[in-house]
Amino acid sequence: MSGAVVRLWDAVAVQHAPPGRGRTASGRIPTWSQEYVRRHGNWCRRTDTRGTDRVAHRYARALDSRWPHPILGDSLADEVVGKIDYDFEALGVQTSVVCQAALRAKMLDDRVRAFVKRHPDAVVVDLGAGLDDRMQRVGPPPTVDWYNVDLAGVTALRDKLLPPSPQAHSVAVSLADEH
Ligand SMILES: C[S@@+](CC[C@H](N)C(=O)[O-])C[C@H]1O[C@@H](n2cnc3c(N)ncnc32)[C@H](O)[C@@H]1O
């Protein structure tokens, strides 16, 4: 890989601790910390092994695209949701979550779009890409290489569900492993 690199940790470092949650008065790590980990200064929820995290994000973006005035307008997200046999409604994704997911995605998209415009030789590495179709939303110049990194089962699913592109590459690896 060569050129400028932008790494997206949005995938796994997104959620702040819920309001009112912090260290206990005794300084001990509270029990909720078993559900949350600290990354890059943010508290984020540990990835749910049932995979609800990645589908919830995608579903939130799909719901946004169904609004008459969407924030992100990712119609591909909705198309992909339609291909997944999963009870999305049971997730109970609230409007505030849809707004949060769509706004965060839009903010990151805008930054990446501006970056690749300035650096058409860039290499984008989306860590914990899940089923996100950020590359399709950003529409980078054809000279940009885009790597979507995630666990093997997830990259296999992405390769089935998302349209192929010569500039997109799936990398099946656990970021927790030592390399
Ligand atoms: C909250 S989801 C976000 C997915 C995507 N970025 C999005 O916004 O829709 C977190 C992603 O990180 C991936 N992930 C979690 N632990 C990982 C690890 N150790 N190595 C690689 N990917 C991991 C999960 O499989 C999941 O796809």
Q: What is the pLDDT of residues 17-56, one digit of tens each?
A: 344 444 444 444 344 444 444 444 444 445 444 556 667 8
Compute the distance from residue 39 Cα to the ligand 1 centre, in Å: 13
Mutate which of 53, 78, 84 for ligand 1 pocket (most atoms within 8 A of beta carbon): 53
CATH of 5-22+31-172, one of 3.40.50.150, 3.40.228.10, 3.40.718.10, 3.40.50.300: 3.40.50.150
User: Phi and psi of 132, rounded to 5°?
Assistant: -70, 140
Please tell me the pTM assigned to this model: 0.76
pLDDT tens digits along 82-104: 998 888 898 889 999 999 999 99
Ligand 1 surroundings by CB, under 6 angstroms: 10-12, 47, 53-54, 57-58, 128-130, 132, 150-151, 154, 174-176
176: Cα within 13 Å, side-chain hemisphere: 6
Query: Can you point out the beta strands (E) in the chain?
Result: 5-8, 36-39, 42-45, 123-127, 145-150, 168-172
Domain layout of the chain by residue ranges: 5-22+31-172
Write out pLDDT tens, residues 160-172: 999 999 999 999 9
Best substitution site from 44, 47, 76, 162 to test ligand 1's pocket, by max atoms within 8 Å of Cβ? 47
Q: Render the burial of 86-120: b for 16+ CB within 10 Å, e for the rest.
A: eebeeeebeeebbbebbebbbebbeebeebbeebe
DSSP state at residue 47: P
Partner residues linked to 71 by β-bridges:
none
For residue 158, give both structure tokens.
Answer: 């992405």
